[in-house]
Amino acid sequence: MYTTEHGLPSNEILGLQVQPDKSILVLTGAGVAWFAEGRCIKSITDMGGQPLGRVYDMAIDAAGTTWLATLDWGIISLDGRRMDIGARVLQEPWNFAQDPSGHLWISFRYTGSEVLIGRYNPQNEQFTLINVAIGAEGGVKNHGTRHVRADERGWLWLSRRGVVVYDGQAWYPFSASLSDIDFSDTRLSYEDREGNIWIGLWGGGLIFCDPASIRRYTEADGLPDHEVRCLGEDHEGRMWIGTMDGMACMEEEQVRPVETGEIVSAMVVDGKGQVWSGGSAGKVYKWEGQTPQVIPVAEETHPGEISGLCEDGQGRIWVGTFRGRFGTPFNEWLIDEFRDLLQDQNGVFWIGFYGSIPALYCYEDGHLRPAEMAEAESIAYVNVLWKHQNTLWVGTAKGLFALDLALREMRHFTAEQFGLSANGILALTADPQGNIWMGTSGGGVLRYDGQTFQSIRLGPSALENMVEAVLCDRRGRLWFGTREGLVAYQPGHTPPCLVIREVMAGTRLAAPEAVSCPESTPEIRVHFQGISFRTGAGQMRYSHRLVGHDPTEQWSEFTAADAVAYNALPVGEYCFEVRAMDRDGLLSEVASVEIQVLPDAKTERIHALEKALRATDHVVHSKSWAMRQVMEQIVRVAETAMTVLVLGETGTGKGLLAQTIHETSTRRMRPFIQVNCGALPVGLVESELFGHEKGAFTGAASRQLGRFELADGGTLFLDEIGDLPLESQRVLLHILEENALTRVGGEQPVSVDVRVIAATNRDLRQAIQEGTFREDLFYRLSVFTLELPPLRQRQEDIPALAAHFAERYAQHLQRPVPTLAEGMVAHLQRYAWPGNVRELEHVIHRAVLLCKDGVMRVEDASLPSVALPAGEGERPPAERRTGDADEATPPAEVVDEKQQILEALQATHWRVYGVHGAAALLDMNPERLRSRMRHYGLRRPQKPGTGK
């Protein structure tokens, strides 16, 4: 956190800019400052001895002058020159934008209905006020043009009751076409790396616009007609566009009409890259420049409107008409209305008709006959034929057919069975990645990657989604010919996000990371949602699997279903995984949730465990999901001999958790030995833990058993394991692996049968990186890890814990059990509890002592002002890290330390040492506790009549 103490002119921050030298410019309410390498390297707070005041923006013009937009000084340079803006109507400037020509554009605060923007020419130092003559604002007055920016093309974007754009030639309202959105309170605009436009409002939220992925060309852009029927690309990279009123050519992003007055109903690009077209006049055109070569079809055939063109293997162009007549080497009448024709790699011609059944024919060895596959007999209306990767794709009015030309096997895809957006397939092509793109009759565009169909809507209306032509050009760009113009489509590059919204498993769990339920749960239903700004909810596709349920662990096919249910899952551990695919085929990261189905008997045992320990252990005084998970894990691990690593912040009850594991294990009748590794005397760590022989060192007058041998057959709890010296870590690892130790000064190994539970509030992985903890020991200790959540993440437990501690200390003080006053629980739940449960215990102890009339009030709690951070609450375990403990201040620094120590001493009858002593209660080294007692002058009171 940087403030005025670190060099900021003011703590009011108005803006940030990254400078060319990588320093950060900070705009504040009292000047500007530059920060680099974590420190303030320069600041400006005055002009000529007068305060600079609020600075909204800074820019360096083409002449090298640095200008500031300020509240008190207007537009002023760093050398003290004011820009002469002349106009009285303008008030303070708000921000700058520089265009490619070097002009500096300036937005201002003013009152009026006009759209005004300032322009400064640094070459002649002239300022011009421009009135953007656009009628989108009506007579409504507001407070100026709030923001201006220049994009990569040099276009200007003004924010003022909507967004106004200048493309270098004219101003136009960007937001005019979005009549259903209220832009009246526009604050600023931003363009991301994919070309999406984001518009921020004053208090009204954020608007997302997608002008980049779909660019539509119509008559206004040069098309002869807005209904596009055919598309093709010639050898020079020019795109030819056949419409209902003639042909157009696009070159260098500019559209020009080349022939009008005739419907273009067929087009083919031959092997040389030459474009051929045919239309309603019954003529074939070979396009060479703007003037086509007209090739008439024999008049005696009366061809009518040309409906199809195809180049064969010999370079000949075949011509088909709607009347069923071919201008081909086999000049014969066909059975019905002809629609399309192509020749496969074997020289076989495939012909599609419209109206008869069957409608797919082949011409081979001089014979014209229906396709022989049984599936083809039902095809009645063929719209388009396309060959790709040895497969003939047939677009019909009743779905898509795929014919394997080698195996002569056919598949049929429909909206009902495969999720197509429409059954009418009007156009087909493939991109360089092998994806099949389809134009549909009202369903927009379909993309098929060989497994999943993805739909792309090109607009809100049905005509915008009638796609009769599809083209992927040599640069990989996609073009769609629709009833409402030509669409250039730009796929996105940002994959979607994915969240698991909820799991229904007997009860509703919102966004869980793990779920446990008894085997009697009839159904487990998982709801998920993919999130993409460009892809609508209906266009998102999902694939999922339940690891541990199906031995193959295969992913399901992608479908639009955003939920899945599993019925009567057997006892076991599962992991549900799901992934989302957006309309462009981009995959999200896998989202998962652990699912544990428990035997009902085990569930009952958890309840019995809680009941048995309820009076003595605050770990089980819990309604939180996180602590329920901990209790279930205790049941699972208690019966084993596994080593357990307990993680958690100071005061969360790690020692009590270790004792709970011991008392519910088969070792409960054997010793439970607790060792604070951080409190062991330096130089005697190994002697204390592993024992020593007589004469092993000076003062070793006799053999002494270490903690391991004392805990033989039982449990050894190593608290603060992160403080154990490295050499002792090596010996500990050897004991854990060999189940044997050698006493200090001894030679013979001694077998031990000890279950080790270790605990720490440190980040052991960080300690491994720092070289203070052995990596091999970490993996040996963390065979089974339990993580205790901090109290701030289990607020629902605070009322029960407070009542529990109130009862305990009321009995200790021989007082009636007090009640919690109205507002007391909310007061406790608003506090961050850096000292966790232990701190809550001390606060309640104090409140019991101070409360009056048997009611604990807010003033009795005496909590410091450490509020719960926004968004804190119960979180799943994976969101909690032991590193969070670094953010927690020890309770002795939050609550009055002297009072806290005094209360602990009174509660333990002034006993300092031992498991039940004040040092253990405070989680403090006993010697440090004695030092703090001397510091505060705390002494055990004299017994009456003894003088002691």
- Give me the domains of the chain, ranges plus CATH numbers: 54-212 (2.130.10.10), 497-597 (2.60.40.10), 633-693+702-787 (3.40.50.300), 791-895 (1.10.8.60), 905-948 (no CATH)
* Contact status, residue 756 vs residue 739, Cβ threshold 8 Å: no
Q: Is the pLDDT of residue 443 over 60?
A: yes
Tokens representing 249 are 């050519």
Among the listed residues 378, 391, 580, 405, the one whose alpha carbon sits nearest the alpha carbon of residue 494: 580
What would the pLDDT profile of 530-569 be if each residue is shown by its tens digit? Answer: 988 778 777 899 999 999 988 778 999 898 899 999 998 9
Which residues 6+ apart lie within 8 Å of 366 measured at CB? 330
Instruction: Note whether 132 and 115 are within 8 A (CB).
Output: yes
Task: Report pLDDT digits (tens) over 816-847.
Answer: 999 988 888 888 988 888 888 888 888 898 88
| 894 phi, psi to nearest 5 deg | -105, -50
What's the mean per-residue pLDDT of the chain?
Answer: 84
DSSP code, position 723: G
| pLDDT at 313 > cutoff 70 | yes
The C-alpha atoms of residue 121 and residue 85 are separated, in whole angstroms, by 12
End-to-end CA distance of the chain: 53
Cα–Cα distance for residue pair 316/734, rounded to 1 Å: 84
**Going by DSSP bridges, is the β-strand pair 715-719/672-676 parallel, antiparallel, or unpaired?**
parallel
Report pLDDT for 464.
Answer: 92
Tokens of 802: 């407070």
Task: Name the most confidently modeled range: 289-303, 591-605, 867-881.
Answer: 591-605
Residue 324 is predicted with a pLDDT of 54
Is this prediction's pTM over 0.95?
A: no
Residue 716 CA to its chain's centroid (Å): 43
Q: How confident is the model at residue 336 (pLDDT cuts 50, 70, 90)?
A: low
Report how far apart, in Å, the C-alpha atoms of 189 and of each of 87, 102, 105 are: 26, 21, 15
Buried b (16+ CB within 10 A) or exposed e, 851-887: beeeebbbebbebeebeeeeeeebbbbeebebebbee
Distances in Å between the Cα of 831 and the Cα atoms of 333, 626, 653 are: 89, 19, 19
Give the other-Cβ count within 10 Å of 926's Cβ.
17
Is the model's pLDDT at 301 over the cut of 80? no
Q: Give the list of residues 6+ apart from residue 201 with CB closer than 8 angstroms, or none.
A: 183, 185, 186, 187, 207
Give the residue with greater pLDDT, 925 vs 123: 123
pLDDT at 910: 85
Distance CA 224, CA 255 (A): 10
By C-alpha distance, which of 305, 274, 309 is closest to 289?
Answer: 274
Q: What radius of gyration do the chain's Cα atoms show?
A: 39
Confidence bin at 865 (pLDDT 50/70/90): low
Which residue shows structure tokens 């403990």?
885
Per DSSP bridges, beta strands 306-311 and 291-296 are unpaired
Instruction: Answer yes or no: is pLDDT of 888 > 80.
Output: no
Sign of CA dihedral 621, 622, 627, 633: positive
In Å, how far are 243, 555, 584 from 539, measured between CA atoms?
29, 19, 10
Copy the structure tokens of residue 412: 């049929």
| DSSP 8-state secondary structure symbol assigned to residue 124 | T
Torsion 177-181-182-187 (CA) sign: negative
- Sheet containing strand 306-311, edge to edge, reads 306-311, 317-321, 326-327
